[in-house]
Amino acid sequence: MNRQLLAVHAFLRDSPIPYLLVPLVLAGPVWLADRLPALGQTELAIIAVFLSLAMALLWGRGPGLFTAVGSVATFDYFFVAPLHSFAVDDRRYLLTFSLMLAVSALGGEATAHLRFRARRVAAREASVRVRFELARDLSGCGTLEEICQTADRAIQRELGAGALVLRKSPSADGLAPALEADLLVVAQQLLQAAWMPVADDGAPRRLPGRAAWVVPVQTANHVLGLLVLPDGRRTPRPLVDLESVESFAALIALALERVAHVDLAEAARQQAARSEVRHAVLSALSHDLRAPLSSLCLAVETLARNRDQLTPRQASLVDECCEGTRRMHRMTGNLLELARFQAGGIRLRREWVPFDEVLAASLAHGGAAAAPGHLRVTMEPEPCMIHVDAVAFERVLWNLLDNARTHVGPAVVVTLAAVAQDGQFLLRVEDDGPGLPAAVAQRLQQGSDGSLAAPGGLGLAICRAIVEAHEGHFAVTAPVTGAGACFDIRLPQVAWRSPSAAGSEVEDHIA
Amino acid sequence: MWHPDVILPTRDRAAPPKAPVILIIEDDRQLRRLLTRGLTEEGYRVFASEAGRGGMADILRRQADLVILDLNLPDMDGMTIIQEVRSWSPVPLLVLSARQEDTEKIAALNAGADDYLTKPFSFGELQARIGVALRRRRQDAADLEDFCVGDLQVNFTRRTVQVRGEAVHLAPIEFKLLAVLARNAGRITPHRALLLAVWGPQHVDDAHYLRVHMSNLRKKLEADPLQPRYILTEPTIGYRIAAG
Q: Is residue A417 part of a domain?
A: yes
Q: Is residue A275 part of a domain?
A: yes
Most confident listed range (A327-331, B93-97, B222-226): B93-97
Chain B positions in Cβ-Cβ contact with residue A391 (cut-off 8 Å): 100, 102, 235-236
Q: How confident is the model over B146-167, as pLDDT tens digits?
A: 888 888 888 888 888 888 888 9
* Residues A469 and A355 both lie in one domain: yes
Contacts of A223 (CB under 8 A, 6+ apart): A167, A191, A194, A196, A198, A199, A216, A217
* Residues A281 and A315 both lie in one domain: yes
* Residues A220 and A290 both lie in one domain: yes
* Residues A270 and A359 both lie in one domain: no
Confidence (pLDDT) at B183? 82
Domain boundary among A294, A317, A346: A346
Chain centroid to CA A491: 33
* Residues B187 and B75 both lie in one domain: no
Closest to A98 in 3D by CA, of A76, A116, A118: A76
Phi, psi of A39 (to 5 degrees): -65, 130
* Residues B128 and B12 both lie in one domain: yes
In this prediction, residue B82 has a pLDDT band, given cuts at 50, 70 and 90, of very high
Could you tell me the maximum CA-CA distance found in chain B, to the nearest angstrom?
67
Closest to B189 in 3D by CA, of B143, B136, B146, B119: B136
* Residues A94 and A182 both lie in one domain: no
Confidence (pLDDT) at A301? 84
Contacts of A355 (CB under 8 A, 6+ apart): A379, A383, A384, A385, A386, A418, A420, A425, A427
Q: What is the DSSP string of A245-273?
A: HHHHHHHHHHHHHHHHHHHHHHHHHHHHH
Domain count, chain B: 2
A419 beta partners = A380, A426
Confidence (pLDDT) at A127? 77
- The secondary structure element, H or E, covering residue A145 is helix A144-154
What letter represents residue A183's amino acid? L
Query: Quick check: B123 pLDDT over 60?
Result: yes
Confidence (pLDDT) at A497? 65
Best to test chain B binding among A279, A288, A293, A301 (most B CBs inside 10 Å): A301
Phi, psi of B152 (to 5 degrees): -100, 125
Confidence (pLDDT) at B122? 82
In this prediction, residue B14 has a pLDDT band, given cuts at 50, 70 and 90, of low
Cross-chain residue pair B212–A291, CB shorter than 8 Å: no
Confidence (pLDDT) at B8? 41
Confidence (pLDDT) at B67? 94
Report d(CA A77, CA A80) in Å as an integer. Answer: 6
Q: Is residue A504 part of a domain?
A: no
Confidence (pLDDT) at A236? 43
In this prediction, residue B99 has a pLDDT band, given cuts at 50, 70 and 90, of low
Cross-chain residue pair B212–A301, CB shorter than 8 Å: no
- Residue A496's closest chain B neighbor by CA? B208
Q: Any idea what the CATH number is for the domain that residue B151 is in?
A: 1.10.10.10
Confidence (pLDDT) at A427? 92
Block mean pLDDT (10 aa), chain A, length 511: 75 84 89 87 88 86 88 88 83 87 88 84 83 88 83 77 68 51 69 54 59 75 76 48 76 87 88 78 73 85 84 88 82 76 71 87 70 79 84 87 82 87 88 77 62 65 86 81 82 72 43 34
Confidence (pLDDT) at A303? 85
Domain boundary among B120, B139, B158: B139
**Which 3 state secondary structure label does DSSP give A480?**
coil
Domain boundary among B139, B157, B174: B139
Query: Quick check: B46 pLDDT over 90?
Result: yes
Q: Any idea what the CATH number is for the domain that residue B105 is in?
A: 3.40.50.2300
In this prediction, residue B93 has a pLDDT band, given cuts at 50, 70 and 90, of very high
Domain boundary among A326, A346, A366: A346
Chain A positions in Cβ-Cβ contact with residue B9 (cut-off 8 Å): 306, 309
Q: Is residue A329 part of a domain?
A: yes
* Residues B68 and B187 both lie in one domain: no
Q: Is residue A199 part of a domain?
A: yes
In this prediction, residue B101 has a pLDDT band, given cuts at 50, 70 and 90, of low
* Residues A307 and A174 both lie in one domain: yes
Domain region containing B235: 146-241
* Residues B122 and B68 both lie in one domain: yes
Domain count, chain A: 3
Confidence (pLDDT) at B44? 93
Average pLDDT, whole number, for chain B?
82
- Residue A284's closest chain B neighbor by CA? B99
Domain boundary among A312, A346, A380: A346
- Residue B10's closest chain A neighbor by CA? A306
Confidence (pLDDT) at B68? 93
Task: State ipTM.
Answer: 0.72
Q: Any idea what the CATH number is for the domain that residue A420 is in?
A: 3.30.565.10
Domain region containing A11: 2-132
